[in-house]
Amino acid sequence: MINGVNDIPPMSLEDKVEEIMDKEIRPHLKADGGDAEVVSVEDGVVNVELQGACAGCPMSQLTIQGMIEQQLKARIPEVESVEAAQQGPQSFL
Superfamily of domain 13-84: Fe-S cluster assembly (FSCA) (3.30.300.130)
**Per-residue pLDDT for 89 more than 60?**
no
Per-residue model confidence as pLDDT tens digits over 20-34 = 999 999 999 999 999
34-88 pLDDT, tens digit each: 999 999 999 999 999 999 999 888 999 999 999 999 999 999 999 999 999 876 5
- pLDDT at 9 > cutoff 90: no
pTM of the model: 0.81
Domain ranges of the chain: 13-84
Distance between CA atoms of residues 79 and 22, nearest Å: 16
Three-point CA angle 82, 23, 53, nearest 5°? 60
